[in-house]
Chain A
């Protein structure tokens, strides 16, 4: 018999109460139980970063975390970031720069960038490259992603975007 644990989490501002098995990964609980399919599995070993979520203000690979470890945590995914009517500046910048190609790494890249900009509102290109280095992108060569994050940072700091 597998043991079930009660886990309470705040996900995208909503309180969630669920019973999980010991072995369940946070990634699977977010995707399968909460329907947050923006969180992707790319490797299951913490190497690609496609499953990144923001957890208590830090980015984590949700494939490397058990759901029970996320007890009482505050979790953010891209579903909580913006809507098609009201996009987050990062989402707008990713569209403007075509920083999403296949789109599979995009949610993780956007969350990583959001987390970065909360700590450093005007990062250099080098700092951006450092911040996103835990997420692999096979399509863009990262150039347009860095462009988009820099552009969003400028917009969020109140500068006009050229």
Chain B
């Protein structure tokens, strides 16, 4: 409770606050990319490959009708024909080879998108088929066709700790299982869209639905072959992203529209249909994870040997980093003295997998937490009691040899969900249920390394400027796409400067006006951006305090600013308005604009053994899921989710609840119903009719508890909370199914069909 008492000191931070973007959204005034396309814009349509793997022998376009303003192929790209993330392996427009049905072959441009689409239908493409590799295990076989010249394994990395052979010798019980996960589609409700407007002297402005305007700017400049100064990128209101809009798709749309705009000297727009969106943007990687785990008979883990294989599709996208995060989370939040792990990121001819909320962590947690449950059963221990013997606590050593500091609230999270869900009672009572419909209760734990950690250099910048009316404008390259994290940044600015939240204006993310703050991914906005904002705000506050101390004739330490009132702490009758203070500053030529920077330092790990400090702090959590399973139909009704997260410091508890509840729903879809089905490289269900998203009738009530063990990295101790809520509900639900009907589903999603088949197999 000490930490909660500490939160009382804050005026804005830690309070349930209304989001600054809510008003425009409830009025329907927020402008998404497709809402603000210039009237005279041309429209683009893309032609995709019809086959997953082939040599491209030629494109024959019919004679162009006047209505078709341009037909663009790879040879029309003035700069470098690459639109990719980590490895430059993916052309924006395929040139001589296609590697998936998501490869773009050409673009048609017309006044009316239907005219462009009709034209593309009559384009003839000559393919010379190549063998299709639709499984990473096929790709890894020696003698398989090479999808890229560098080979079919885009990345292999390993972790070695202690001695696993000795660890398994010490074990009384050893369990080996294989788990697999599916392609999950991010399905933001807004499909990708963007437009570009030509400017003077070869410059161009690209507006779109995206996460990372600075990354998009680099890509557009490279593809157009122009300096970055010629390209300005502005994020429109973005209707959900979840990682999909972090990768190639936003670059593709900006580059294709910018290219068209420069070529035609007209604004140009590209709006993806739902089908295009589902095929073209990156998905969650399917993983196959083999676990071999040893434990003593009293329930102490002795060793883990884990092999992870990820299908990254035809291009690496962010796959090489997804496997890094998967590897670092693959043991689950436990102390395991001896660990041997290998992770592989493998090319296939499926559509691309890349960034998606969780970034390898949900797959790793699904396998680890199902394995822990199966091991508890084998040891005849309660699943929570077994976990408690092994969980990470302050001072524990992780699989990478990192010794954790005091910021580990996992045990407290477990206590919250155990009590609130009435775990002990239900666990024993529901075991006795008979009949067709049976209830079950299951648990899963999680930890989630914050920000990008080993994925790169981690820097952020933010600018705060106070105008003569006392309004504070926040400019930062980090974007809002639904989480409310940017409003969290405004709360931090409000807290430090002492102005009401309503006086903070958040400027659109724009490469021309905002400092580059790195990517809006890895749940880093509040943690990393928050530090930059806090630094900028602290510098501004220092200037304000100096002038205020002169005006109020007091020591600088006695100046108090809050709710827009500036007063002396020792004599509150001596006060001025914030607006008057600002005017005095401006009269004295005090520059009320400050840019704050922040760099995370301390990440280091050995490339060969993966030993070291991959992340500076971790979010922890515990989930209890309750389900009812129909033994005749195999159908699952989720009854309730009880969750607790150690969030370090809740900047806005309302936004955190939103992340927990939304993450639970997305995880529930992942657990029970969602799968983007690939067959022979093609996508079978690229529509919201055939790809099932959870509706309001599928998602149960979610009870959430917030635990605060401040971390070393985030402002006020805040930890990441964008991604962690997707990590553990899926294994908790699958473990609850096992408790209800006694079958363990090892491949996601746990559909009625799989449950029925497992029930049938268990009877024989």
Contact = CB atoms under 8 A, between A and B. Distances in A.
Interface in A98-116: 98, 100-107, 110
Given A94-B22, A94-B26, A98-B484, A104 B697 contact: no
Contacts of B688: 42-43, 45, 47-48, 136
Contacts of B239: 40, 102-104
Interface in A127-146: 128-130, 132-146
Main secondary structure of the interface of A (DSSP, over half): loop
Contact of A91 (B27, B655, B687, B693): B27
A136 B28 contact: no
A96 interface: yes
A101 B484 contact: yes
Contact of B26 (A37, A110, A142, A144): A110
A93 B32 CA distance: 23
Contact of B695 (A100, A103, A133): A133
A48 B274 CA distance: 10
B18 A98 contact: yes
Contacts of B664: 141
B253 to A, nearest CB: 16
| Majority SS at the chain B contact face | loop
A142 B665 contact: yes
Interface string A28-42: 000100001111111
Given A45-B688, A139-B240, A101 B658 contact: yes
* Residue among B36, B481, B658 with most chain A CB within 10 A: B658
Interface string B649-666: 000001101100111111
A135 B697 CA distance: 11
B237 interface: yes
A36 B693 CA distance: 27
A107 B28 contact: yes
Contacts of B30: 103
- Sorting the interface of chain B by its residue count into under 10, 10 to 19, 20 to 34 or 35 or more gives 35 or more
A101 B482 contact: yes
Contacts of B701: 143
A106 B664 CA distance: 19
Contact of A100 (B22, B36, B186, B663): B22
Contacts of A6: none
Contacts of A128: 696
A57 B188 CA distance: 29
Interface in B474-492: 481-484
Contacts of B661: 140-144
A18 interface: no
A104 to B, nearest CB: 3
A75 B368 CA distance: 52
A47 B696 contact: no
Contacts of A106: 25-26, 28
A135 B191 CA distance: 15
Contacts of B693: 136, 138
B242 A95 contact: no
B662 A98 contact: no
Contacts of A100: 19, 21-22, 25-26
Interface in B9-41: 18-19, 21-32, 34-36
A152 B655 CA distance: 20
B31 A144 contact: no
Contacts of B663: 141
Nearest to B668: A141
A36 B18 CA distance: 26
B619 interface: no
Contacts of B506: none
Contacts of A143: 657, 661, 699, 701-702
Given A37-B31, A87-B26, A144-B657, A42 B191 contact: yes
B695 A104 contact: no
B658 A45 contact: no
B273 interface: yes
A106 B29 CA distance: 11
Interface in B174-201: 186-191
B689 interface: yes
Chain B CB count within 10 A is highest, among A43, A77, A79, A107, for: A43
Given A103-B482, A136-B688, A141 B665 contact: yes
A117 interface: no
Contact of A95 (B23, B187, B189, B482): B23
Contacts of A101: 240, 482-484, 658, 662
Given A47-B689, A98-B484, A139 B662 contact: yes
A120 B483 CA distance: 32
B538 to A, nearest CB: 27
Nearest to B31: A37
A40 B190 contact: yes
The interface centre, meaning the residue of B23, B25, B31 with most chain A CB atoms within 10 A of its CB, is: B25
Contact of A48 (B18, B23, B25, B189): B189
B658 A146 contact: no
Contacts of B188: 102, 104, 138
B189 A102 contact: yes
B520 interface: no
B484 A104 contact: no
Contacts of B595: none
Interface in A1-41: 31, 36-41
Interface of B: 18-19, 21-32, 34-36, 186-191, 237-242, 273-274, 481-484, 654-655, 657-658, 661-666, 687-689, 693, 695-697, 699, 701-702
6 contacts: A38-B27, A95-B23, A134-B695, A140-B658, A142-B661, A142-B696
Interface of A: 31, 36-45, 47-48, 50, 77-79, 82-84, 87, 90-91, 94-98, 100-107, 110, 128-130, 132-146
What are the nearest 9 A-B pairs in CB distance? A38-B28, A104-B239, A103-B25, A102-B482, A141-B665, A141-B661, A78-B28, A47-B688, A37-B35
